[in-house]
Amino acid sequence: MVRIAVPPIKCQGIKTKLVPWIKKQMSWNGKGKWIEPFLGSGVVGFNVRPKKAIFCDNNPHIIRFYQGVNSGEITPAVVRGFLKEEGALLSERGGDYYYKVRKRFNKTRNPLDFLFLSRACFNGLIRFNSKGEFNVPFNHKPGRFSKSYVTKVVNQVRSVRRLCQVSEYKFVCQDFRETFSLVEESDFVYCDPPYMGRHTDYFNTWGESEEVELFRLLSECKARFILSTWHSNEYRRNQYIDRFWDSFHIVTRDHFYHVGAREKNRKPMLEALVMNYTPPIEKKKDVERYFQPRLLDPCAGYTTP
């Protein structure tokens, strides 16, 4: 079993279980910079452990938190004290206290409040409204921050902090278009943009114009890259696979995203990795078919390569 370093910030679409698979598809000598235009949780980059990296995202709260860890302002000790105190208040007051912290965060933008909310909110969602306010409801678990749970989060912060101490990392809040201007030929670019029509919010809304622009930028990219996207599910196929991405190398694998409130609502998806180079394992044969074509399935009759 490969041990995966889980990051302290939880978010939908996190690639924790896909990290070993993604790493197997990489082809990079590590001499340049690791560049992520869409940081999210940071789970892929933190497990690749590059010596130099530029982690970018247009969500200022994610970047502000990791900037604090990188600078030493947010330490494991600080996180332990904060979560222990706030967790005790949550246990005592329940949902009322969660919404008090949410209101406080939307006013002060405290990165420790952001960590607390990402751990105490419904299903670990990160979602903001048009005013830029965090609006995810409470997860109805007032005892969430047990001693062992706090220790787990503290260890996750410690892992990222140690990595920052031995590496040259920058965390930058900016649009993905700006990030591509930093790419050099020796770098490696990992892109995990929001998936069209899935889990988008004020900060990561993603439409056709963004997908087209990302295709242009990756087509012109001087460095090697991996793009994480979705290929298909039991109901439909990602139209942009045919329109854009099938001009590159693609490997696929079935994967569950645990976002639904109930287990029966958590459906499998065919995950795709798009690369501008021949992957080390070409035409990988580890895909198990979960998807049975239905009469209403627009992808009926399609066979995975």
The whole-number average pLDDT for the span 27-50 is 96
Q: What pLDDT is stored for residue 257 in this prediction? A: 56
* pLDDT tens column, 117-170: 999 999 888 999 989 999 999 999 999 999 999 999 999 999 999 999 999 999
On whether residue 97 sits in a domain, the answer given is yes
Q: What pLDDT is stored for residue 59 in this prediction? A: 94
Residue predicted with more confidence, 294 or 77: 77
The whole-number average pLDDT for the span 241-250 is 91
On whether residue 212 sits in a domain, the answer given is no
* CATH number for 78: 1.10.1020.10
Q: What pLDDT is stored for residue 214 in this prediction? A: 96
The sign of the torsion formed by the CA atoms of 151, 157, 163, 165 equals: negative
The whole-number average pLDDT for the span 18-25 is 95
Kindly report the number of other CB atoms within 10 A of residue 71's CB atom: 10
Burial 223-254 (b: 16+ CB within 10 A, else e): bbbbbbbbbbbeeebbebbeebbeebbbbbbb
When pLDDT is cut at 50, 70 and 90, the band that residue 235 belongs to is confident
On whether residue 139 sits in a domain, the answer given is yes
**What's the domain range around 137?**
71-157
Tokens 């109901």 correspond to: 235
Residue predicted with more confidence, 218 or 239: 218
Question: What domain count does the chain have?
Answer: 1
Cα–chain center distance at 275: 18
| Distances, alpha carbon 75 to alpha carbons 65, 67, 112, 114, 156, in Å | 11, 11, 11, 15, 11
Give the Cα separation of 12 and 259 in Å (integer).
7
Q: What pLDDT is stored for residue 14 in this prediction? A: 84
229 contacts 245 by C-beta, under 8 angstroms: yes
User: Structure tokens of 12?
Assistant: 């939908």
On whether residue 90 sits in a domain, the answer given is yes
On whether residue 110 sits in a domain, the answer given is yes
Q: What pLDDT is stored for residue 289 in this prediction? A: 33
On whether residue 82 sits in a domain, the answer given is yes
When pLDDT is cut at 50, 70 and 90, the band that residue 197 belongs to is low
Give the Cα separation of 172 and 188 in Å (integer).
17
On whether residue 44 sits in a domain, the answer given is no
* pLDDT tens column, 46-73: 999 999 999 999 999 999 999 999 999 9
Lowest mean pLDDT among 59-73, 78-92, 253-267: 253-267
* pLDDT tens column, 86-124: 999 999 999 999 999 999 999 999 999 999 999 999 988
Q: What pLDDT is stored for residue 267 in this prediction? A: 63
Model confidence, pTM: 0.86
Q: Is the pLDDT of residue 283 over 50?
A: no
On whether residue 304 sits in a domain, the answer given is no
